[in-house]
Structure formats: C-alpha cells, structure tokens
A and B are shown apart, each in its own frame.
Chain A
C-alpha cells in the first residue's frame, strides 16, 4: 500500500465514524418527536385510537389536535423509519446516549394517556372485582360490576369476558384495585414501566453473557415502535411476562437451572404464552434441577391459585381455548383467508393452524435436542404462536424480540422484525383511504 492510500483509509473511516453518531442522533430525534406527537394528540382524549379514560394527561392538552389515523400512522411510519436507522447505526451509539433515549421515550409515554387499547381497564376491572366487590374474576366478567366506575372504560368486547390472565398476575393486580380507577391506572402504568426496565436490564445482561453488543440489543428492543407505542403506551401486562422470560434466560445463562425453570412457570402464571420456553430449556440442559424447579413453582402457584380463586383460577386451558377461537382483522390467518377469496377464518382453519403450530414446535424441539440454541428455538416458537394465531395484536409480535436479540440465530431477529414490518404496513389502510 502506498503512502497516499495509507492516508486515505483512516480519513474515510474518520468520516464515517463522525457521521454515524450524528445520523443516529437524528434517528433518535425522530423517535422522540413521533412519540411526543402521538402522546400530545392523544392527551386531548377519546378518539378512534384513544380509549375512553379518566383524564390523566389533561395538562398536556392545548398543543395538538385529537389523535386521528392520519397523524398516528404518519408518526408510526416515522418512528419505524427512525428505528430502522437506529438499528443500522446502533454500533456507533454510546451506552449513555442509548440509555438516555430510552429513558426519554419511557417518560413521554408514562405521562401520556393510554394508547390504542382498553386492556388496562380490564386489568383494573378484574382487580376491583376481587378487592372491592368480592367477585372471582375467573367466573365473572366486568359486566357483573356495571355500577363500578371502571366499567365505563372496559372495552365493549370484553365486558362479559372472565380474565384470561394467570393467577399470579391477578393477585399482583389486586392492590391496584384499592386505589380507585385513576390511582390504579397510574399504578398499572408504573408497573408496565418497571417491567419494561427489568426486561431491558435483563436483555442487556443476557447480550453481554452471549458476547453480543448490549447497546444494539437494548436499542433493538426498547426503541421498537411496537414496544414503545403499543406495549408501553397501553401498559400491557405482556411486559411483566417478558421481564420474567428474560429473567429465566439470564438465570439459565448463569447456570441456575432450577430458579430459571421456576421463573418460566411464574411467568406462565402471569400470562400462559411464556410456558413455551420450558420444553426447549429442559431439552437443552436436560437437568433434573430444572424439572424440580418447574414442578415446585407449579405446585406453589397452583395452591396459591386454588386458595385465591378455586378450581377456575387454575383452568388456564379453558381460557386459552376461548382466546384461540377469537379472530382479529390484523391476524395473518385472516389476511391469507382474504388472499384466497374467503371472507374470513373458518373453524377448520383454526384446526389447520393448530396442526401447523404443532409441526413447527416438534421440529424446533427436535432441533434443540440436536444442539440448536434453545433461546432461538423458544423465540421461533413464540413467533410461530403469533403468526398462526387468529387473534393477533401488536404486542404479541413483540414476545420473541428480546430472545431474538440474544439468540444465536440471526434469522430469528430478521424474521421478527420483518413480521413486525408487515403488521405496521397492514395498519396503513386508513392512510390511503380515510373514512369520514
């Protein structure tokens, strides 16, 4: 290499190194601006995207206009573009900058209204049924407390539905029921923030343990549009499930097999989906401690559920079967039905999808038995559950994301992000043809 060439290489590198942080900062700014736009417009109250809610973000009013599809979808697209840019430039982002960005995004969402979902009011309704009305949320729907102030805010489709969440989550939510609707709402928002913080800290830790760049892992999860706007914005309990899921992964990485398996069971008693991790974890490690840990946690959990809610509190299969029969317009199953000229999903399709899921899970179990990374296999299983489900919501496609960023198969990360991209694209119809 001649002298001129030698001097050119460092120059071009310097240039790219100088530009990358500036571009990453611009992407971060887009994320903050898009989140702020949604929150400020959302603070004006009930709209097609903002559920009816006690006025918790009234002090933010006066800047924006009521949140409609156009502004929301443009902000969502801008956020997604900023996220893509940030993901590509993550290596040039400092640890301090990444954490600051995530704190700012969390803070903006925390002070704002509940976004895009009434689920949090169902959580509060179930808690109030238990502590204020002495009713079992596993045998009664919110309709049985129609005089309670929270009833007004529960989603129309869920007013007669018993809780589908695990007994540990229901017990965890009970203290919030004593705080009144507004107090409970702030409590649920704070709980979602704490669960998110735990998920992110554990993702960071797991990435370090796997020799991956923790900043990239952190940004891929915490700056994800579905994570910030849908999961955090709606204060969804999926964040608690994800925190327990990552705790189990971190414990396994640390060689603590029994507590790891017990943590998965606790997670499943919050939201059943996370139980998908357990067979992969057991097949990979083949340790007796795991089985004992899982059985111990299951025994304690079942006894707790029986004492608190009777036999209905442990009948998770019934709740899962009920939810599996639901159909949402955003599900890939519905989209494929439309593609083949069918008006929607038929009962036979549910059976076909379940059979497909079984085949995928069996293949993943076999691959794990033969040495495939169990974390990636668990992530694939969660992704397969969301893709084959006829009831797909934005935060369901988030489940595999923390596993994807620490897993050994990068295809899982690309597949998860690609499906999230399709989900975002599917939301865009009102942007092309708004209904007046």
Chain B
C-alpha cells in the first residue's frame, strides 16, 4: 500500500480484512479454484450433452423431412424442388404439413396441395392422413384452406 493514500483508500483500509480490496489474489488452499472448476466442468458436461442431443434430434427431424418431401412427390406425381414443410411447433408432435404447387410454376404461385403426414418413416416414406388445398399466393393459414379430406376434414382443418 502506498504511503500517500487517498481518503477513499483510507476508508477501504478500515474495512475488515475479508472485505478489503486486493491488488492480487492471495495464495490460498485453492479450494475456491477447485469448486469453480468442478462447477464449470459440470456446466460444460450439461452443455455438451444438450448439444449432442440437439444434433441427434435435428438429424431425426431432417430424416423425417426428407421422407415427407419424398412422400409428397410420389403422392402427387410431381417432382418439384420447391416444396415447403411445416413442423408442428405448437404441440411438438411429429405431424408435418407439406405443401407444393399442383401445376408447375414459381413457389406458391399456383393452387397448392398440402398433405398431412404422420407416423414413423417406413422405407423412406410416411403415411398421408389427408390434406387440403390453398389458393395461389397464400400461406397455410386456416382461413385460406379448402377441400379438406381425410383426417384433416374430421379435425376441422378447413373453415367450411
């Protein structure tokens, strides 16, 4: 500590030893260092497990989406590139909605057919439980859907 202390430093010097500021860490038993390190390792472990879990989940979702796209193409007989898939982010189920144009054209610029797909991926495909149509240039919102059939009709997926 310098010989010419400011009033602020003098006040700090009157604090109990455990509260006083230090210019460098005092050599101790290393207990705090060990506790911090253990906590950090545990946090890292949690983050590592969460990351790997997310990669596995993402891989499964991607496999499912690939099966969805393949199923839509085979069901409609249209081998289009721009097909949109929508996951059930509300209820977190594996039911997906896959929409694409019924005739060739830019994405969403023609009447679209949306298919509801459920169940496991079997031989690279999923089960189609029904679907509906959408007018051109419309997003898949409840109010735009028409001509529901299959399970979506029973679920009231279309407004009428």
Binding site for B on A (CB under 8 A): 283, 286, 288, 332, 334-336, 338-339, 343-344, 369-372, 387, 411, 415, 418-419, 422, 425-426, 428-430, 432-436
A429 and B69: CB pair below 8 A? no
B54 and A426: CB pair below 8 A? yes
Q: Which residues of A contact B49 (CB under 8 A)?
A: 339
B39-47, B97-105, B111-119, B135-143 - the one binding chain A = B39-47
| B65 touches A (CB below 8 Å) | yes
A371 and B50: CB pair below 8 A? no
**Cβ contacts B10-47/A at 8 Å (1 or 0 each):** 00100000000111111000000000110010001011
A336 and B50: CB pair below 8 A? yes
Binding site for A on B (CB under 8 A): 6, 8-9, 12, 21-26, 36-37, 40, 44, 46-55, 57-60, 62-63, 65-66, 69, 89, 92
In-complex Cβ contact of B25 among A332, A336, A339, A372 (8 A): A372
Query: A428 to B57, alpha carbons, bound, how many Å?
Result: 12
Known: A370-B22, A433-B66. A422 touches B57 (CB 8 A): no
B25 and A432: CB pair below 8 A? no
In-complex Cβ contact of A435 among B48, B55, B62, B92 (8 A): B62
In-complex Cβ contact of B55 among A334, A418, A429 (8 A): A429
Query: A372 to B36, alpha carbons, bound, how many Å?
Result: 13
Q: Which residues of B contact A436 (CB under 8 A)?
A: 66, 69
Query: A335 to B44, alpha carbons, bound, how many Å?
Result: 13
B26 and A371: CB pair below 8 A? yes
In-complex Cβ contact of A335 among B22, B23, B37, B53 (8 A): B53
Count of chain A to chain B residue pairs whose CB atoms are closer than 8 Å in the complex: 85
In-complex Cβ contact of B92 among A336, A343, A372 (8 A): A343
Q: Which residues of B contact A371 (CB under 8 A)?
A: 21-26
A257 nearest CB across to chain B (Å): 14
Q: Which residues of A contact B23 (CB under 8 A)?
A: 371
A290 nearest CB across to chain B (Å): 13
Residues of B contacting A: mostly? helix
A336 and B66: CB pair below 8 A? no
Residue among A369, A418, A419, A422 with max Cβ neighbours from chain B (10 Å): A422
Query: A430 to B55, alpha carbons, bound, how many Å?
Result: 9
Q: Which residues of B contact A430 (CB under 8 A)?
A: 62
Query: A243 to B55, alpha carbons, bound, how many Å?
Result: 34
Query: A323 to B50, alpha carbons, bound, how many Å?
Result: 23
B47 and A422: CB pair below 8 A? yes
Can you report 6 residue pairs joining A to B where beta carbons are below 8 Å apart? A344-B89, A370-B22, A371-B22, A433-B59, A433-B60, A434-B66
Q: Which residues of B contact A369 (CB under 8 A)?
A: 21-22
Q: Which residues of A contact B21 (CB under 8 A)?
A: 283, 286, 369-371
Query: A338 to B60, alpha carbons, bound, how many Å?
Result: 13
A86 nearest CB across to chain B (Å): 23
B61 nearest CB across to chain A (Å): 8
Residue among A332, A335, A369 with max Cβ neighbours from chain B (10 Å): A335
In-complex Cβ contact of A411 among B6, B12, B37, B57 (8 A): B37
Known: A371-B25, A432-B59. A332 touches B69 (CB 8 A): no
New A-B pairs, 18, CB < 8 Å, besides A336-B50, A425-B55, A434-B62: A286-B9, A288-B8, A332-B47, A334-B54, A335-B51, A338-B54, A338-B57, A339-B49, A339-B53, A369-B22, A371-B25, A372-B25, A411-B40, A415-B44, A425-B52, A426-B54, A428-B55, A436-B66
Q: Which residues of B contact A429 (CB under 8 A)?
A: 54-55, 58-59, 62
Query: A336 to B12, alpha carbons, bound, how many Å?
Result: 43
A426 and B66: CB pair below 8 A? no
Ranked nearest first, the 6 interchain pairs of A and B with the lowest CB-CB distance are A371-B22, A433-B62, A429-B58, A335-B50, A371-B25, A339-B50
Name which residue of chain B comes closest to A286, CB basis.
Answer: B21
A200 nearest CB across to chain B (Å): 28
A313 nearest CB across to chain B (Å): 34
B44 and A426: CB pair below 8 A? no
A227 nearest CB across to chain B (Å): 20
A216 nearest CB across to chain B (Å): 22
B85 nearest CB across to chain A (Å): 8
Query: A435 to B23, alpha carbons, bound, how many Å?
Result: 56
Q: Which residues of B contact A338 (CB under 8 A)?
A: 50, 53-54, 57
Q: Which residues of A contact B8 (CB under 8 A)?
A: 286, 288
Query: A426 to B51, alpha carbons, bound, how many Å?
Result: 6
B149 nearest CB across to chain A (Å): 27
A423 nearest CB across to chain B (Å): 8
B46 and A336: CB pair below 8 A? yes
Known: A335-B50, A336-B46. A343 touches B89 (CB 8 A): yes
A433 and B63: CB pair below 8 A? yes
In-complex Cβ contact of B40 among A415, A432, A433, A435 (8 A): A415
Query: A293 to B5, alpha carbons, bound, how many Å?
Result: 21
Name which residue of chain A comes closest to B57, CB basis.
Answer: A338
B58 and A419: CB pair below 8 A? no
Query: A435 to B25, alpha carbons, bound, how many Å?
Result: 53
A329 nearest CB across to chain B (Å): 8
